[in-house]
Amino acid sequence: MKYSWVFCLIILTACSKTFNNSQPANFDKTKLESLAQTYCASGEKLTELDLTPLYLDFEDLSAPVYGIMNGTGRCALTGDIHDAWGIGWFDVTINSSCVPNGSFWKTRKSELLSPTKYYTFESIDHPEDPLLEMSGARDLNSTYARDHAGLRPLKCISNSAQ
């Protein structure tokens, strides 16, 4: 009986699907500078939006560019994700066998069909690549998309900002 709590802890840890922590991703700085020339105003740079201190609903995600960074392997995602619990859900369809780590995406389509928010992303690096489709409960915390699919919104900030 005294080991039952240890067994439960091991099971919960092993079944956890969280791949990342909230550490900022290390995207290629040269690529970020190049993208900033297209997606930001003069005198601005792209940086990851820190989702940790704020609660941002999945339906409110809006960024000029998104990066995908999940773990350290070549692929951030190698298969679709279909998570559901109680009144929440989160789905990703990658339409390929690998979404490269460090790849950059822009929103091709964003649609709210209550109670679900749908996003379709197009690769900036290789526009001919298959689209990335993501959907989830509109009030899902955006950190879920970051922690389970590696979706990292990037924002434009002044070059003089830290």
CA separation for the pair 143, 120 (Å, rounded): 18
Give tens-digit pLDDT for 67-109. 999 988 999 999 999 999 988 999 999 999 999 999 999 999 9
CA-nearest of 89, 94, 87, 107 to 149 is 94
Cβ–Cβ under 8 Å, residues 121 and 130: no
Give tens-digit pLDDT for 21-68. 344 568 999 999 999 999 999 999 999 998 887 788 999 988 999 999
pTM for the structure as a whole: 0.81
